[in-house]
């Protein structure tokens, strides 16, 4: 008899939290589900923000995009914090290996000086673009709603900080850890005509108020053109110049980009499918920002790989957009 009591007392009395049960049915839930859905406050807020009295805290109208439930935007990677950091820890371990290998073997410092300068002029200033992307995604994480959406943006923000730090380390390898090369690289970003359209674009994104417009502009449009151009095409061009080893130092960015495209596309697809007004708005934003991103990258392409490389990237991006139900102007599809 007592054994029977013990057995039943081990049986769970419920499978998961009530909110998860309401969404997914009465069955055991994944860690991603329990950690991501409905964890955010939705009602009965006490005070209007002093910094934005037009809106409430967690206000869904901080973007003009309308979703019945933002939790329908989910992460195909199913990243909750623990899964995220463990994934990135693996990536950083591999990256660390490459960086210390390059550093120890002098793979970068043995490159001709003009090629080293090319890295400082074309590649390393991307660290500033990464910082802009870091700020934008942190801002989106603070403004957007629903745990499934907010968490993807803070992961993205931290990833961009990390990418910027890796790019900075390329210069520190070049200058032997003094910071000289970083200083020089920064002057390109600030003053070289090559970078001014991009710097203008990044600064313009820093004043975008609508968080979805910002996420779309940064994570889909700018990254959608910049990553293939600067980490694929430019990488290939460096190879042709005899700097194939640099590739080891940008592997993180390529792997990261491949992974990131999946959640960005999933988000855009879901928002597009929700209603016609969303689809129209997204198309309008693409029409506004895609040419800006193209123009910002044009000088970089012109002075290295040539414009064709950028046009190829743009055409590929147009195909990606098309799958999402969006069209980009300027490319004959």
Partner 1 sequence: MATNKKKLSLKDKYQYLTRDMAWEPSYQSKKDIFPQEDFEGIKITDWDKWEDPFRLTMDAYWKYQAEKEKKLYAIFDAFAQNNGHQNISDARYVNALKLFLTGVSPLEYGAFQGYSRVGRQFSGAGARTACQMQAIDELRHVQTQIHAMSHYNKHFNGLHDFAHMHDRIWFLSVPKSFFDDARSAGPFEFLTAISFSFEYVLTNLLFVPFMSGAAYNGDMATVTFGFSAQSDEARHMTLGLEVIKFMLEQHEDNVPIIQHWIDKWFWRGYRLLSLVSMMMDYMLPNKVMSWKDAWEVYYEQNGGALFKDLERYGIRPPKYQDEANKGKEHISHQLWATFYQYCQATNFHTWIPSEEEMNWLSEQYPDTFDQYYRPRFEHWQALQEKGERFYNNTLPQLCQVCQVPALFTEPDDPTKLSHRSLEHEGERYHFCSDGCCDIFKYEPDKYIQAWLPVHQIYQGNCEGADVETVVTKYYHIDAGRDNFEYLGSPDHKRWQAIKGQKPDESQAAKPKNAA
Residues 43-62 that bind partner 1 (CB under 8 A): 43-51, 57-58
Instruction: By CB under 8 A, name the one of 25, 31, 323, 330 that touches partner 1.
Output: 31
Size of the site for partner 1 (CB under 8 A): 95
Quickly count helices (H) and strands (E) in the chain. Answer: 15, 0
Instruction: By CB under 8 A, name the one of 155, 234, 285, 294 that touches partner 1.
Output: 155
> Does residue 40 bind partner 1 (CB under 8 A)?
yes
Closer to partner 1 at the Cβ: 152 or 326?
A: 152
CA distance 223 to 261: 9
Kindly state the smallest distance separating residue 83's Cβ from partner 1, in Å: 9
Among the residue ranges 63-71, 143-151, 255-263, 264-272, the one whose residues contact partner 1 (CB under 8 A):
143-151
State both tokens at 28: 């055991």
> Does residue 74 bind partner 1 (CB under 8 A)?
no
Instruction: By CB under 8 A, name the one of 68, 89, 193, 333 that touches partner 1.
Output: 89
Closer to partner 1 at the Cβ: 252 or 317?
A: 252
> Does residue 177 bind partner 1 (CB under 8 A)?
yes
Our measurement of the distance from residue 174's CA atom to the centroid of its chain's CA atoms, rounded to an integer in Å, reads 27
- CA contacts within 13 A on the Cβ side of 84: 19
Closer to partner 1 at the Cβ: 118 or 328?
A: 118
> How many residues are given for the chain?
333
SS3 252: helix
Among the residue ranges 138-146, 263-271, 297-305, 306-314, the one whose residues contact partner 1 (CB under 8 A):
138-146
Q: What is the CA radius of gyration of the chain?
A: 23
DSSP assigned state of 89: H
Closer to partner 1 at the Cβ: 181 or 282?
A: 181
CA distance 45 to 218: 30
Instruction: By CB under 8 A, name the one of 23, 24, 34, 331 that touches partner 1.
Output: 34
> Does residue 68 bind partner 1 (CB under 8 A)?
no
> Does residue 39 bind partner 1 (CB under 8 A)?
yes
55, 57, 62, 66 alpha-carbon torsion, rounded to 10°:
-110
CA distance 283 to 277: 10
> Does residue 25 bind partner 1 (CB under 8 A)?
no
Residue with tokens 């130092």: 249
> Does residue 139 bind partner 1 (CB under 8 A)?
yes
Cβ proximity of 166 and 95 under 8 Å = yes
């Amino acid at each position: 008899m007592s054994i029977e009591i013990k057995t039943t007392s081990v049986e769970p009395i419920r499978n998961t939290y009530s909110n998860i049960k309401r969404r997914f049915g009465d069955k055991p839930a994944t860690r991603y589900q329990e950690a991501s859905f409905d964890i955010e406050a939705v009602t009965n807020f006490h005070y209007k923000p002093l910094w934005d009295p037009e809106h409430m805290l967690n206000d869904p109208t901080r973007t003009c995009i309308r979703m019945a439930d933002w939790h329908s935007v989910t992460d195909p990677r199913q990243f909750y914090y623990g899964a995220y950091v463990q994934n990135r820890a693996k990536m950083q371990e591999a990256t660390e290996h490459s960086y210390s290998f390059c550093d120890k073997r002098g793979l970068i410092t043995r490159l001709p000086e003009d090629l080293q300068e090319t890295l400082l002029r074309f590649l390393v200033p991307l660290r500033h673009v990464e910082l802009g992307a870091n700020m934008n995604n942190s801002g989106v994480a603070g403004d957007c709603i629903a745990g499934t959406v907010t968490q993807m943006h803070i992961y993205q923000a931290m990833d961009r900080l990390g990418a910027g730090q890796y790019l900075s380390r390329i210069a520190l390898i070049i200058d032997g850890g003094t910071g000289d090369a970083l200083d020089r690289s920064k002057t390109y970003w600030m003053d070289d005509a090559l970078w001014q359209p991009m710097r203008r674009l990044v600064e313009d994104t820093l004043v975008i108020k609508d968080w979805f417009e910002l996420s779309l502009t940064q994570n889909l449009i700018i990254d959608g053109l910049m990553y293939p151009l600067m980490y694929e095409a430019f990488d290939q061009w460096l190879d042709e110049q005899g700097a194939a080893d640099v590739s080891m130092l940008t592997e993180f960015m390529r792997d990261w980009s491949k992974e990131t495209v999946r959640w960005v596309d999933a988000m855009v697809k879901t928002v597009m499918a929700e209603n016609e007004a969303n689809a129209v708005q997204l198309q309008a934003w693409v029409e506004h920002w895609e040419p800006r991103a193209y123009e910002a990258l044009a000088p970089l392409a012109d002075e290295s790989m040539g414009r064709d490389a950028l046009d190829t990237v743009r055409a590929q991006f147009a195909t990606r957009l098309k799958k999402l139900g969006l069209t980009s102007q300027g490319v004959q599809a």
